[in-house]
Chains A and B, each alone.
Chain A
Amino acid sequence: DIVMTQSPDSLAVSLGARATINCKSSQSVLYSSNNKNYLAWYQQKPGQPPKLLIYWASTRESGVPDRFSGSGSGTDFTLTISTLQAEDVAVYYCQQYYSSPYTFGQGTKLEIK
């Protein structure tokens, strides 16, 4: 199984500042035949189901604000929130869909400083 490890486990950032969450996979999730990284990011607010933010490591889902961006390739990925808003308080998960079982990171809790 591919193990997904996020860092940090929790993060406190000031309103308007940049937030960065890292995700590392135990093996590459880059599929060489199409040059796509099979990596998604989700946001989960308290009491709500997760919401897909980004897929193919850097493609924003429709309706997701452009302050959210994804980057990275192979085994190392980053979710960046460029200007933190109060409504961004949530737990963020990365997930690989390169191979079954489709595994998630342990989550990163983002709070306001």
Chain B
Amino acid sequence: EVQLVESGGGLVKPGGSLRLSCAASGFTFSNAWMSWVRQAPGKGLEWVGRIKSKTDGGTTDYAAPVKGGFTISRDDSKNTLYLQMNSLKTEDTAVYYCTTGGSNFAYWGQGTLVTVSS
């Protein structure tokens, strides 16, 4: 059974940083393209970015609102996906979901809430 478990969310001040983790199990993580999708409170879904598998180059791609501030990485030895978020803004407040897939998203974690507020 595929499981994705996010952690690392919390309250952070504007301009601060946070690193989210996603522990994956039940599939061959190293072969998977992975993505982050976020959802602001009471709002719709927004793709944040993705990382390809290392065999496909391991490259990343980001949505414009987070480009330059967010970095996606992976540790295949730990079956873990990361989202490093720097220079956080109030509009980054959202539930952040880890998902399988680079463009459409078959499996989702339960999400972790990031609140950016002074």
A residues in contact (CB < 8 Å) with B: 1, 38, 40, 42, 44, 48-52, 55, 61, 93, 95, 97, 100-107
Contact = CB atoms under 8 A, between A and B. Distances in A.
27 contacts: A38-B103, A38-B104, A40-B104, A40-B105, A44-B45, A49-B109, A49-B110, A49-B111, A50-B37, A50-B45, A50-B97, A50-B105, A50-B108, A51-B108, A52-B104, A52-B105, A52-B106, A55-B104, A93-B45, A95-B45, A95-B104, A95-B105, A97-B104, A100-B103, A102-B47, A105-B44, A107-B44
Given A97-B103, A102-B103, 13 more contacts: A42-B45, A48-B110, A49-B108, A49-B110, A51-B108, A52-B105, A93-B45, A102-B104, A104-B44, A104-B45, A104-B46, A105-B44, A107-B45
Contacts of B61: 100
Contacts of A50: 37, 45, 97, 105, 108
Interface of B: 37, 44-47, 61, 63-64, 97, 103-111
Contacts of A102: 47, 103-104
